[in-house]
């Protein structure tokens, strides 16, 4: 995320700066505060979200500065000189306590908490939401495709349809969510992934005929050759020509890696192609399929027995097509020694006050059973209550439990090694094995239970009462 080299502090909403100036000029900026990050709705009508973006966020926060150009700009648009002078020396000195990147998370869980003074904790809101919302959105999409594809190879190649520079974040999140390679060379370079790609139709069009186009390509990439076979006619021209070139490669001690289908009925074409390749003794040549794929189409192709070895996915992965934004929010939960909450006429939108942690309860088979949210340090609790309908409760005694949150940043410095996208993917895959199947299915997944401890419930009621009393109407 070393992309905004100048003025990274400006990568924010204007109101973060007006509020910061307000806190600064009113002398309140050093008062301690705590904010929670959580989301409300699982995208893609799914049953879980993969928490992603933490390492990007920590890296960015360590470098969050207002350089001279940024300060000159802020002064020029009317910010107070004393405040701009303060910003010129600003760096984020707060703490972050978070679930691990790659963790499987659920709605309304405060999975990340920022502590520090009110100015710094407020100022990072926009960039925090921008990164966590988008990387979690795409890692979740990628993970759904991984679940559909099993162990088959998954290639991300969405850069041409990505949302501008968001294609870079998308590549990172795709790898975090379980993709094997990317077409995005810049992304591969930045995130230690492997880049991959073959040829476009234009390569073939630039030759008088398809066979010559294949031969020239194979000559220059004898050990890394995947031939695009749908330029003229997949079964009558593309595959037969690929078979000729595969045999020529074999004679010279190389082998054709694969053929790529990019249009038409992928089930029918992959079955026919497999037969033709096998009949030619080319059982080792893989079939790569692409063209508007998503997790549902991958699942359907495989259910029909399509012999596809590699899936290339673009638009629906990098944009999260059916749900292009995660609705994550950042809410003040504690200020100047006191728990705080945002009331709402809609009880499901009332936030949880105070500094909290999350426990994951596991059943005897070591499968995820439910998550509990409680005040930090309150100890064990026997029941978790539904946050919106607290009369509904669930017993959680005699269950194994894990505490999900640990401190990852202290005084503005990252205190844990940042996991790579590939490490996060491996962790997610392990965790998903503990998530019961019914939460992983695509159609109407079962809702995973989360609840709050009795003490947190009591605290929420008390703070809400106080808020209503102070703001009577």
What residues from 102 to 131 belong to the interface with a second copy (CB under 8 A)? 118, 122, 125-126, 129-131
Q: Is 422 exposed, middle or buried (0-12, 13-18, 19+ CB in 10 A)?
A: middle
294 binding a second copy? (CB under 8 A): no
Site string for a second copy, 140-169 (x = CB under 8 A): -----------------x-xxxxxxxxxxx
Q: Binding a second copy by CB under 8 A: which of 77, 365, 391, 398?
A: 77
One-letter-per-residue 3-state SS of 271-337: HHHHHHHHHCCCCCCEEEECCCCCHHHHHHHHHCCCCCCEEEECHHHHCCCCCCCCCCEEEEEEECC
**Cβ density class 72-83: b for 16+ within 10 Å, e for less:** eebbeeebeeeb
Residue 368 interacts with a second copy (CB under 8 A): yes or no: no
In the set 67, 327, 378, 454, which binds a second copy (CB under 8 A)? 327
Say whether residue 424 binds a second copy (CB under 8 A).
no
| 257/224 Cα distance (integer angstroms) | 6
> At closest approach, how far in Å is the CB of 362 from a second copy?
33
Asked if 14 touches a second copy (CB under 8 A), the answer is yes
Kindly state whether residue 302 participates in binding a second copy, applying the rule CB under 8 A: no
* φ, ψ dihedrals at 45, nearest 5°: 50, 35
Contact between 462 and a second copy (CB under 8 A)?
Answer: no
Chain positions 17 to 76 lying near a second copy, rule: CB under 8 A, are 17-19, 21-22, 25-26, 28, 31, 33, 35, 70, 73-74
> Does residue 262 interact with a second copy by CB under 8 A?
no
Binding of a second copy at residue 134 (CB under 8 A)? Answer: yes
Nearer to a second copy, 132 or 404 (CB): 132
Nearest to 124 by CA among 71, 116, 78: 116
Q: How far is the CB of 47 from a second copy (least distance, A)?
A: 22
Cβ atoms 435, 48 nearer than 8 A: yes
Tell me the C-alpha distance between 32 and 240, whole Å.
Answer: 70
Strand partners, 155: 181, 312
Torsion, Cα of 130, 134, 137, 138 (10° steps):
-170
**Nearer to a second copy by C-beta: 101 or 371?**
101
Residues 17/95, Cβ–Cβ less than 8 Å: no
Q: Residue 220 Cβ, how far from a second copy at the closest point, in Å?
A: 5
Q: Of all helices (H) and strands (E), which one includes residue 427?
A: helix 421-432
Count of residues near a second copy by CB under 8 A: 109
Q: Does 344 bind a second copy (CB under 8 A)?
A: yes
Mask 228-257, x = binds a second copy (CB under 8 A)?
Answer: ---xxx--xx--x-----------------
Name which of 1 and 384 has its Cβ closer to a second copy.
1
Is 307 or 324 the residue whose CB approaches a second copy more closely?
324
- Of the pair 235, 302, the CB lying nearest a second copy is at 235
Give the sign of the dihedral formed by CA 153, CA 50, CA 39, CA 118. negative
Locate 290 and state its tokens. Answer: 């692409």
Does 340 interact with a second copy (rule: CB under 8 A)? yes
| Between 175 and 370, CB nearer to a second copy | 175
Q: Is 186 in the site for a second copy (CB under 8 A)?
A: yes
Whole-angstrom distance, CA of residue 79 vs CA of residue 24: 12
């Amino acid at each position: 995320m070393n992309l905004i080299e100048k003025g990274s502090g400006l990568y924010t909403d204007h109101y973060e700066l007006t509020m910061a100036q307000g806190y600064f000029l009113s002398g309140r900026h050093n008062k301690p505060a705590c904010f929670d990050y959580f989301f409300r709705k699982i995208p893609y009508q799914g049953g879980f979200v993969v928490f992603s973006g933490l390492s990007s966020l920590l890296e960015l926060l360590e470098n969050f500065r207002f350089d001279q150009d940024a300060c000159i700009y802020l002064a020029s648009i009317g910010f107070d000189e004393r405040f701009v002078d303060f910003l010129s020396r600003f760096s984020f000195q707060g703490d972050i306590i978070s679930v691990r990147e790659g963790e499987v998370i659920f709605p309304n869980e405060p999975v990340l908490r920022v502590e520090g003074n009110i100015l710094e904790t407020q100022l990072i809101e926009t960039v925090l939401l921008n990164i966590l919302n988008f990387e979690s959105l795409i890692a979740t999409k990628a993970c759904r495709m991984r679940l559909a594809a099993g162990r088959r190879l998954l290639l991300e190649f969405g850069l041409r349809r990505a949302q501008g520079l968001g294609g870079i974040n998308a590549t990172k999140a795709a790898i975090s969510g379980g993709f094997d390679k990317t077409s995005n060379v810049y992304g591969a370079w930045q995130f230690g992934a492997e880049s991959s790609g073959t040829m476009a139709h234009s390569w073939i069009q630039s030759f008088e005929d398809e066979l010559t186009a294949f031969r020239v390509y194979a000559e220059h990439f004898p050990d890394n050759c995947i031939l695009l076979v749908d330029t003229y006619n997949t079964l009558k021209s593309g595959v037969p020509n690929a078979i000729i070139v595969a045999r020529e490669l074999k004679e010279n001690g190389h082998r054709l890696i694969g053929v790529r289908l990019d249009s038409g009925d992928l089930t029918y074409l992959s079955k026919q192609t497999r037969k033709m390749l096998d009949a030619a003794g080319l059982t080792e040549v893989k079939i790569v399929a692409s063209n508007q794929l998503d997790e549902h189409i991958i699942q359907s192709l495989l259910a029909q027995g399509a012999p596809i070895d590699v899936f290339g996915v673009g638009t629906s992965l990098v944009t999260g097509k059916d749900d292009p934004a995660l609705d994550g929010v950042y809410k003040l939960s504690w200020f100047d020694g006191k728990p705080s909450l945002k009331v709402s006429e809609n009880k499901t939108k009332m936030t949880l006050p105070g500094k909290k942690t999350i426990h994951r309860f596991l059943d005897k088979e070591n499968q995820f059973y439910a998550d509990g949210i409680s005040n930090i340090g309150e100890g064990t609790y026997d029941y978790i209550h539904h946050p919106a309908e607290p009369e509904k409760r669930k017993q959680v005694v005699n269950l194994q439990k894990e505490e999900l949150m640990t401190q990852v940043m202290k005084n503005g410095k990252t205190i844990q090694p940042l996991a790579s996208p590939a490490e996060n993917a491996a962790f997610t895959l392990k965790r998903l094995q503990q998530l019961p199947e019914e939460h992983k299915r695509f159609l109407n997944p079962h809702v995973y239970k989360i609840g709050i401890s009795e003490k947190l419930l009591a605290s929420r009621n008390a703070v809400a009462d106080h808020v209503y009393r102070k703001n009577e109407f």
